[in-house]
Amino acid sequence: MLSLWSFKLQTPPKITKPFILALLGPALFHTIGHISACVSFSKVAVSFTHVIKSSEPVFSVIFSTFLGESYPVSIWLSILPIVFGCSLAAVTEVSFNLQGLWGALISNVGFVLRNIYSKKSLQSFKEVDGLNLYGWISIISFFYLFPVACFVEGPQWVQGYHKAIESIGNPMTLYIWVLISGVFYHLYNQSSYQALDEISPLTFSVGNTMKRVVVIVATVLVFRNPVRPLNALGSAIAIFGTFLYSQANAAQKAKKKLEGEKSS
């Protein structure tokens, strides 16, 4: 983000104390979501983590309902195949691990609370676009994470570094992988925010569903994770449920918008 702002590729937002204070909550949940996702990735197959993370709409509906939001029957019905598919995938997962499962579930909670908290606390800063918002959330998240990482894993850094080099064989390879991982992860989020401004919610939801399919299939091919037929079926049902939820959610937003235009 500093590079984008420095080279004028992205207009930097005006930073004020209320703006930073409003981001403290979303950044905290953002940090929790990413840490728990990384814990899950380290314990189970990447494909399994993404299947469980496809249940994020379930947490979104539940938490939003507790906060007073109401949803039509179509949305509640759409989360049933997500729950069933994720359950089937978990039961039949070869690499199943409780820590991996809990990591993915906590990640869902973190990201849902981030989204809800952002919507509630940042309504006064609608002039800030999605990319700048994500950039500042990530920057504040870094300041949350760095001292915690030093305290929790600081004594293990040297040992972990040498173990990583030993397993990879070349220090430069490790540096390149970490750099590429960070750059591509940021570009993924950046393109997502930019795409949402350019295409319809329907197109975006279809693309988001296909993203999970591509990630799951790619990780199975790259890491050669064994996949049982019932596990593949459960994954497919969960992803299909996510697609149904996105369609029901888009229809509800369109209905609310139309009702608002009629009332005005």
Determine the pLDDT at residue 63: 87
Closest CA to 101 of 139, 48, 162: 48
Taking alpha carbons only, the member of 119, 136, 130, 104 closest to residue 33 is: 104
Place of tokens 């235009």: 261
| Range from 108-122, 136-150, 232-246 that averages highest in pLDDT | 136-150
For the chain, report the end-to-end CA distance as a whole number of angstroms.
39
Boundaries of domain holding 247: 2-263
Tally of domains within the chain: 1
What does the pLDDT read at residue 218? 84
Q: Report the pLDDT value the prediction gives residue 179, as an integer from 0 to 100.
A: 93
User: What band does 31 get if pLDDT is binned at 50, 70 and 90?
Assistant: very high
- Tell me the mean pLDDT in the region 5-30: 88
pLDDT of residue 202: 54
What is the pTM assigned to this prediction? 0.83
Per-residue pLDDT tens over the stretch 157-205: 889 888 888 888 888 999 999 999 988 988 887 777 667 656 655 566 5
Residue 152 has pLDDT above 80, yes or no: yes
Range 122-139 average pLDDT: 81
Residue 75 predicted with pLDDT over 60: yes
What is the pLDDT confidence band of residue 27, given thresholds at 50, 70 and 90? very high
pLDDT at 201 (0 to 100): 54
CA 18 to chain centre: 26
Percent of the chain scored above 70 by pLDDT?
94
On the question of pLDDT at 55 being above 90, the answer is no
Query: Residue 204: what pLDDT?
Result: 60
Cβ–Cβ < 8 Å for 197, 130? yes
Q: How high does pLDDT run on average in the chain?
A: 84
